[in-house]
Amino acid sequence: MNLNALHKLGYGMYIIGSHKGDKLNGQVANTVFQITSEPPNVAVSINKSNLTHEYIKSSNVFSVAILNQGTPLQYIGSFGFNSGRDVDKLKGVNYKIGETKAPVFIDHAAAYLEVEIVQDVDVGTHIIFIGRIVNAEVLTEDTCMTYEYYHQVKRGATPKTAPSYIASEKGGDE
């Protein structure tokens, strides 16, 4: 059995935003996917230890910024390798407050979605949040970043709290 096979699965790169009252946060995710077309529902897998998990649980909404291929590694890292418990991730970052009141991170985004939770599924370390789309916009026709591009070309790393973290993986600052 060779779990490197999991590295061959395809994903995009996203910044997930949510809120808890007036408090706002965002985090990197790669596991956003459409699960039905009628209605157009999407899902995301979020680690229970992440602050964004707590915010989504509280507000029942999240936003998805779909990153373009040119997104700087530093921008991704600022959302992915810090916790909103320790730093204000929104400092110096452009965002707008969406219809759901979640922050929508428009920098480097080719499109975004806003989602209201209809179901959540406990899968152990993570929760799969499933929701209906209440807002969606295309911002640019830029090529979107794939998770493979992030790893291979950008030499990006995967936080240990990501669903796709594999203990043996090389090439990045964990």
Whose Cβ is closer to a second copy: residue 93's or residue 133's?
133
Q: Does 123 bind a second copy (CB under 8 A)?
A: yes
- Shortest Cβ distance from residue 88 to a second copy (Å)? 27
Which stretch in 7-15, 17-25, 53-61, 76-84 sits in contact with a second copy by CB under 8 A?
7-15
Nearest one of 53, 165, 68, 173 to 112, comparing CA atoms: 68
Stretch 83-122: interaction string toward a second copy, x if CB under 8 A: ---------------------------xxxx-----x-x-
Considering only residues 15 to 54 of the shown chain, the ones binding a second copy according to CB under 8 A are: 31-43, 45
Q: Which of 28, 66, 115, 117 binds a second copy (CB under 8 A)?
A: 66
Considering only residues 125 to 164 of the shown chain, the ones binding a second copy according to CB under 8 A are: 125-126, 128, 130, 133-138, 144-148, 162-164
User: What is the SS3 assignment for 72?
Assistant: coil
DSSP state at residue 39 = T
Please name the residue that has the structure tokens 């707008």. Answer: 96
Radius of gyration of the chain (CA): 15
What is the torsional sign of CA 158, 160, 164, 168? positive
Please name the residue that has the structure tokens 């899968």. Answer: 123
- Shortest Cβ distance from residue 164 to a second copy (Å)? 5
- Shortest Cβ distance from residue 91 to a second copy (Å)? 27
Q: Distance (Å, rounded) from C-alpha 95 to C-alpha 50?
A: 20
CA atoms within 13 A on the CB side of 159: 18
Type of residue numbered 17: G
Q: Distance (Å, rounded) from C-alpha 129 to C-alpha 116?
A: 9
Q: What is the contact surface with a second copy in residues (CB under 8 A)?
A: 1-6, 8-13, 31-43, 45, 66, 110-113, 119, 121, 123-126, 128, 130, 133-138, 144-148, 162-167
